[in-house]
Structures are given as structure tokens and as C-alpha cells.
Amino acid sequence: MTLQRYLALLGPCKDAPERMRRIGDRLIHEGHRVHIHHEKDFALLVLGDPPIAIDTGLIVGPLFDRRHPSSVETLAPEDQAKIRASQGRHLTEIFWGGYVAFLRTDEGIVLLRAPLGDLACLFVHQAPRTWVASDIALLKRTGMAPFATDWSMIAQHLAWPYLRGSWTCLEKVMALPTGHKLQSREAQLCLAPCWSPWAFAENAPCLTRDEHVERIARVVSNCVATLAGHWGRPVLLLSGGLDSSILAATLAGRDADLLTLYTRDPIGDERAYAAQVADHIGKPLIEARREVSEIHPLRSAAGGLPWPARRLFEQETMRQVDLAAADHGAAALMTGGGGDNVFCALQSAAPVADRLLVEGPGPGMFSTAREISALASAPMPTVLRSAAAKAMPWARRSIVRPDHAYLSDEARARAGARPPAHPWLTPPARPLPGVAGYIRLLALAQSFSEGRDPAATIPTILPLLAQPVVEACLAVPSWLWFEKGRNRALARRAFAPHLPREIVERRSKGTPDSFQGEIFEHHHATLRDMLLGGALADQGLIDLPRLTRVFSGTVPMAPPDVGSLLRLVDVEAWLRSAPGRHE
């Protein structure tokens, strides 16, 4: 199955068919399969497989039916009628996937981007017309480039690197968030939500702990089977951590390859854990060492994206994935990205506050407090005081705190005191603090799906961020995720029968810290020249005196400091790649 890309033009344009034909001809000459559709005030070009045609429009991208765990190629007449009658809501309730739907209404074409979908929807409005595309490379085909860098958004990205919304870091280029509609009315664009995690957290069915466990096991297994069946044989990036191990368990009976990456430093070597999982499910394990010499700091892995949304160390990850896929015939990369977020790995007393507000002070609340105390190695009185404070009506919002490491005063001022607007971070009146914290984690998890590279050799699959999985987990009271001093308790229970006990009970977690340390040491001179003499320095956005001391070796570097510094390198490399700036 090929990865679809698309370019659309909404609004009156007499030469739209001819413009699309010329763009399509060039793409065909380059070896692409191209499908073009046009009608009054609407033209669509799709690369790869053709879109799904329905009586109210066209659907681009993979579409799956909750009632049958398989890909959808045609929609039944009754489903088409319900999509039309509900103005698209039926799509979000019965189907899921990485789709963008173009639906005809009495007021024109409406775009609907799938909740938690990973097919991007970028647009540039030039009243009365709007260009829409899956990626910057296709927007460039329209002749609108160059797109200038939006420095105010660069400052906000530096402070809140994992938030994604309707903004991008390129001027004039906007993004339709997942679970939103886009419609043009009287030459004005209207963005409106059609899905929100709050609806599933606030109207959750009342289930027992065991019923939640069964539901999570069933939904995760179905989503993995559906995605693997659609994309073909996956190579799973297996660390031996809980999230990737859960995916390995669901792939036990399917054609799949297991790949684990390790570093020279034992801290980054998880092969022992990964081998336990591989042996348990009866599959061979591919082992590959991350090579720091294969990292190219001046090259951005996000060069085709409208944000600096990829990390430098991911270059070596994708190189090893491509090698394994070529050797073993894999068609897609599968990862457990976002699993911590979806399985509610909160690190606070907010779940205690939730139980206090729902059940009152009693044995249940004290039981959850003991779990949080054991998890955080914090005294019970400290946990209880924190929970009581979080339960106050004025303290129930979950704050996304900025990362100001190595940023100048100028950058902090341009970024502002509040994070960029995100629809999920505006809760209803008096939310439960644990629910607010959980939905904050989900908002941050979008950085995984929004960082997908449209030019990647193979697609990346993120089953734990699939809409049915997230909706099932949103229904879980926050305190049920904590048990025996461990987080993600229901996920552990759900897959305990299929994994080694040591993996299910594991508390430690691998990180890229040691490899990032290697990158800093090996490419020290290049990184120094990039940051001290680059675009961020020219704009006055970084703390040059502090960075000068860091590169002179007079400041000790803890792993979080290295990670924060390399995030600056990610942005600098992206700025040099100039996405959308040149034809």
C-alpha cells in the first residue's frame, strides 16, 4: 500500500483544471501515479492510490471501519447517506484512520481531517481561493513559494517544542488540526472542531477495572491488526519498554520484523529486554548499533515539514530502519510512540485529586495516594497536600510549561507567557485535574504524528495513537492507571498474559540520552559553529554567552541539558533547509 499525498484548490478559479493538469503532468513525468478530479470551485490531485469516492465527495488516505478490522475501499450506501445527513460526523464516529475528507455541502466543499489522523492538511488562503496540500513540497508546485520564516512562531516552537495546532513556522502556511473541519464562507475561512477528547472523558461509560482491561486489550489488538493488514509487513522498533513490547505481543501471529537499536554506552543498550520479548513471542531480533558518524547535523530530518518537528538522533534511527526494511522486505515502520501519553503516565498527584473530587476523602483516595507516593518516591503528606491544592477550583487546569533552556530574554519575550493556542488545552468549567493533565499529554503526543516525513522511504505506523485506542483510554478514571507503585497499570494488566513478567513489571525506561551525548561530543565543532554563527543567533533568540561557555567546556552538561541544546540544533538545521523557500 502506497502513501497518498494530495493537492487541492478550493474556490473560484477558471483555470483550475489546466493548472492541475500541468502539475499532474510534471509529477507523472517524475514517475508518480496521479489522479485528478475537478468540478465547480474545486479541484483535487492525488498521488499514489486513488481516493475513495462517495456520493458527497472524496476521501484521501487510509480509512478503517470500527465494525470490521480491515481497510475500507468502498462505503455502503447507508454509510454514505449517514455521512451526508450528519455533515461528516458519521465518519468520525464509525470510522477511523489517517484520512482527509472533501465533502460537498450546500455551502461548498468542507474539509474534514480525521481525529488523531497522521495525514497532514496544510493550507494557504488567497481570497477567494485556498490551496490545500498534504505537504510543503506539493504546495511549492503551485508557484506560491517562497514562504518566509515566521520568527514569532519559531520563538514559540523553541519554548513549546511539542505543541502542534493551526500555526506553522512558515508565514501564510496554516495547518488544519486533527479532528477539525475547514470551510470557506464568503471568502473567509472557518475552522471548527468536530472531535474533542473532552467529550470521551466526560461522558465515559461506567466500567469495572476488568472491563477496561478487556476493552484496551481488544482495541489495541484490533488496531494493530488493521494497520499491519493495510500497510503490509511492519518492522517494529522494539526497545523492550512496555509500549513497544505490547505491540510486539500483538504481532506474535503476524509477519513482522523486530529491530532494536543500541549505543556504545550501556545506558542506551536495551538488547537484553528486547531479546526477552522476542524469545517470548518466538521471533528473531535484529540488532543494530547507532553510529554517531552517520549523523549529519546540517541536514534536517524535518526539511519537508512546516515545523522543526524531527530530532537529530532520528536520522540514525531511520537509516537503520531503512536497512532492516530492505533486507527483510518490510513495508512500514511501527513504533510505540505516544504510548506513555495514551496510557496516562502522569507524574503528579492529580489522580489523587480526581478521586477526592469524585468519591470524597476515603479509602479509595488514600489508596491512590499510596500508589503515587510509591511511584514518585514522595512522602504521603506531600502527595496529599499536592492533591488537595490541585482539587481547588482555580487550580484544575493543566499547564504546559515552556522550556527556556539556552533561550535569550528576547526569545522568551517573543514566545510570550502562554503556549500557542490549542483546542484541547481549553477545558470545560472545573475539569478534573487528572483528566486535564491526561489530555495535556495527548496534546503533546500529536508531535509524533505531525512529524511524519512525507518523503520517507516507508510510512510510520503509530497504533497507540489510533483513535479507537485513545477513546478507550479516555474512558478510564485517572486513578485506575496506577497500581503497585507503577503507572500504565491497565495496559500492563491487559497484556500481562502475553509478555514476560519482567517486562510487564518493568519501571525503568530507555532514552536517547547516551546517543545524544555521543552526538554532542563527536560533532562538537560543527554544532558550535551552527549555533554561535547561525540564524537563531542572528535573530537574538539564543543565550550566546551561556552557549559559548558550554562549548568551551567550562559548564557541566547533564543529559537534559544536551537534549535542550540539540533541540536548538534541530531548529537551526531546519532553518538552513529552508522548507518551501525554493522551487
Burial of 508 (0-12, 13-18, 19+ CB in 10 A): exposed
Q: What is the DSSP letter of 393?
A: G
Question: SS3 for 256?
Answer: coil
DSSP, residue by residue, 440-481: HHHHHHHHHHTT--TT-SS-EE-GGGSHHHHHHHHTS-GGGG
Give the pLDDT score at 582: 38
Q: In whole angstroms, what is the distance from residue 442 CA to residue 482 CA?
A: 18
User: How far apart are the C-alpha atoms of 444 and 399, rounded to whole Å?
Assistant: 12
Q: Which stretches of the chain drop beneath a pLDDT of 70? A: 1, 186-187, 554-556, 578-583
Sequence-distant (≥ 6) Cβ neighbours of residue 253 within 8 angstroms: none
Buried b / exposed e along 399-425 (16+ C-beta atoms within 10 A): ebebeebbbbeebbebbeeebbebbbb
Considering Cα of 44, then 183, then 149, then 145, what sign does the dihedral take? positive
User: What does the chain come to in residues?
Assistant: 583
CATH superfamily of 200-342+446-504: HUPs (3.40.50.620)
Grid coordinates belonging to 392: 481547588
Domain map (residue ranges) of the chain: 5-195, 200-342+446-504, 347-404+420-443, 513-577
How remote is the C-alpha of 281 from its chain's centroid?
Answer: 28
| AA letter at 34 | V
Residue type, 243: D
- Nearest Cα neighbor of 118 from 68, 164, 72 is 164
Residues 245, 505: Cα–Cα separation, whole Å: 12
The candidate with the shortest Cα–Cα distance to 337, out of 360, 319, 358, 311, is 311
- Are 490 and 216 contacting, i.e. CB atoms less than 8 angstroms apart? yes
Residue 340's pLDDT is: 95
d(CA 322, CA 317): 9
Q: How far, in Å, CA of 500 to CA of 482, rounded?
A: 20
pLDDT at residue number 583 = 35
Which residues lie closer than 8 Å to 90 by C-beta, 6 or more apart?
79, 82, 83
261 Cα distance to chain centroid: 21
Locate the DSSP E strands across 98-194. Answer: 100-105, 108-113, 122-126, 129-133, 174-175, 180-185, 188-193
Write down the pLDDT at residue 1: 66
> Rounded to whole angstroms, how far apart are CA atoms 481 and 352?
11
pLDDT in the model for residue 480: 97
φ and ψ at 431, to 5 degrees?
-70, 160
User: What is the structure's pLDDT at 205?
Assistant: 84
49-72 in b/e burial notation, b at 16+ Cβ within 10 A? bebbebebbbbbbbbbbbeebebb
Which one, of 258, 577, 335, 304, lies nearest residue 456 by Cα? Answer: 304
Take residue 357 and report the three cell numbers written for it.
473530587
Interaxial angle between packed helices 350-359 and 433-449, expressed in degrees from 0 to 180 and rounded to the nearest 10: 140
- Dist CA 501 CA 39 (whole Å): 59
Cell of 415: 514566545
Calpha distance 78→383 (Å, rounded): 53
pLDDT in the model for residue 579: 60
Predicted pLDDT of residue 186: 65
In 3D, which of 23, 227, 26 has the Cα closest to residue 133? 23
Please give the C-alpha separations between residue 110 and each of 181, 399, 423, 509, in angstroms, as whole numbers.
Answer: 7, 33, 19, 43
Per residue in 266-284, is it b (16+ CB within 10 Å) or e — as a string?
Answer: eebbbbebbbbbbebbebe
Q: What is the largest CA-CA distance in the chain?
A: 71
Give pLDDT, residue 429: 82
Given a contact cutoff of 8 angstroms between Cβ atoms, the answer to whether 448 and 341 are in contact is: no
Alpha carbons 146 and 373: distance in angstroms, whole number:
54
**Cell numbers of 576, please?**
538552513
Environment class of 291 (CB within 10 Å of its CB; exposed 0-12, middle 13-18, buried 19+):
middle
Task: Please answer whether residues 378 and 372 qualify as being in contact, where contact means their C-beta atoms are separated by less than 8 angstroms.
Answer: yes
CA angle 30/31/37 to nearest 5° reads 95
How far is residue 259's CA from residue 500's CA, in Å, rounded to a whole number?
18
Is pTM beyond 0.85? Reply is yes
The grid coordinates listed for 413 are 519575550
Task: Locate 278 and state its grid cell.
Answer: 522476542
Query: 5-195, superfamily in CATH?
Result: Aminohydrolase, N-terminal nucleophile (Ntn) domain (3.60.20.10)
Q: Looking up cell 491526561, which residue turns up?
A: 438
pLDDT in tens, 485-500: 999 999 999 999 999 9
